[in-house]
Amino acid sequence: MRARRALLYMPGDAKGKIEKAARSLNVDSVCMDLEDGVAANQKEKARETVVRALQALDFGRSEKLVRINRIGSGLEAEDLAAVLPHRPDGIVIPKVEDGGQIDWVSEQIAAVERANGWPGGHIRLIAIVESAIGIVNLRSIAAGHPRLDALVFGAEDFAADLGATRTRAGWEVFYARSAVVTYAAAFGLQAIDMVFVNYKDTVNLKIEALQAAQMGFSGKQIIHPAQIAPVQEAFTPGDEDIEHAQRVLAAFEQAQARGDGAIGLDGVMIDMPLVKAAQNVLERARAAGKLPPL
Ligand code: COA
Ligand code: MG
């Protein structure tokens, strides 16, 4: 799966921001928004702007995604009909409440893939879980749709749905945030963390992104170019982490050959869970292009 360390939104009617993202930002994923970043009376214009961007712009190494309006909004079918023929790399579905909604979007995509003779499954799906019912139904959402790559946690909508107040510490969303990362891992999906809305505060952004990486998230949603570097860095293992992971794996291999299950390295016990953690570090490094693919 491709790395999605940072997923940058911009309103679908913000032509300049889309052009800037395609031309010069070099972010892992660019997500042109048709949903809440667009005013109700600009939906049509946003669709047209996104279609033109998909037709005309070269996004370089960045993944090009479109966030459609929620299933049941009355806008979702037209959103898909407008953008799919212009072959985005993926569709982001907001406010997902059950797995059936993912099946429905996937069927719309499959029909367009067939009609154009494109390989089936090429256009990927990313599901945002951001309501109480979405968290309750995580199992059905995460369960094995072959087109689904990632679960995203949306904290602002989730807190609003709960009647909770957002705080810097974030305990009001901690259960849901943990649930998303756990279900994603259980079903082999990427987990992408919440937006940090104070886009001028990159110090606390970095702290929150590192915490997300420690929780097992593979990336974070972002809303401003200043957030790209700190977030992509937070989800990229450092040279020291990579070197340590390689030492752990080498020491473990030697121990296995000797018939030892657990060993000491630099005063720390190394056994299977730490080996798995070291493998995860190397996998992230490969996804970020810091190590050659296997
Ligand atoms: N994507 C691409 N470019 C962006 C951007 C984004 N999300 N946010 C800002 N920029 C660009 C600006 O256009 C500006 O470019 P320029 O210097 O070439 O003119 C530059 O980055 C600096 O922007 P700045 O002046 O600091 O911010 P702003 O006041 O223009 O915009 C926001 C602030 C919050 C409105 C803007 O960041 C934004 O639209 N974010 C995304 C909102 C969104 O999509 N929400 C829905 C999903 S949660
Ligand atoms: Mg939302």
* pLDDT recorded at residue 126: 98
- Tell me: pLDDT of 144 over 80: no
Tell me what percent of the residues of the chain surpass a pLDDT of 90.
95
The answer to whether 103 touches 71, Cβ cutoff 8 Å, is: no
Q: What value does the mean pLDDT take over residues 16-34?
A: 97
Q: What is the pLDDT of residues 240-282, one digit of tens each?
A: 999 999 999 999 999 999 999 889 999 999 999 999 999 999 9
CA 149 – ligand 1 centroid, Å: 26
For residue 216, count CB atoms less than 10 angstroms from its CB and return exposed for 0-12, middle for 13-18, buried for 19 or more: middle
**How far does Cα 91 stand from its chain's mean position?**
12
For residue 268, count CB atoms less than 10 angstroms from its CB and return exposed for 0-12, middle for 13-18, buried for 19 or more: exposed
For residues 272 and 277, give the distance between their C-alpha atoms in angstroms, rounded to a whole number.
Answer: 9
For residues 180 and 140, give the distance between their C-alpha atoms in angstroms, rounded to a whole number.
Answer: 12
For residues 72 and 77, give the distance between their C-alpha atoms in angstroms, rounded to a whole number.
Answer: 9
* Nearest atom of ligand 1 to the alpha carbon of 30: 1
| Catalytic residue check, 271 | yes
For residues 24 and 9, give the distance between their C-alpha atoms in angstroms, rounded to a whole number.
Answer: 15
- How far is CA 67 from each of CA 76, 85, 172, 270, rounded to the nearest angstrom? 10, 15, 26, 43
* pLDDT recorded at residue 294: 84
Q: What is the pLDDT of residues 37-60, one digit of tens each?
A: 999 999 999 999 999 999 999 999
- How far is CA 271 from each of CA 268, 274, 283, rounded to the nearest angstrom? 10, 6, 19
Q: Among 10, 198, 199, say which to mutate for ligand 1: greatest number of ligand atoms within 8 Å of CB.
A: 10
6-234: what fold?
A: TIM Barrel (3.20.20)
* pLDDT recorded at residue 1: 84
CA 243 – ligand 1 centroid, Å: 37
Q: Which ligand is nearest to the CA of 22?
A: 1
Domain limits of the chain?
A: 6-234, 239-287
Cβ contacts of residue 143 below 8 Å, gap of 6+? 99, 187
Q: What is the pLDDT of residues 154-174, one digit of tens each?
A: 999 999 999 999 998 999 999
CA 78 – ligand 1 centroid, Å: 26
* pLDDT recorded at residue 198: 96
* Nearest atom of ligand 1 to the alpha carbon of 31: 44
Per-residue DSSP letter, 11 = E
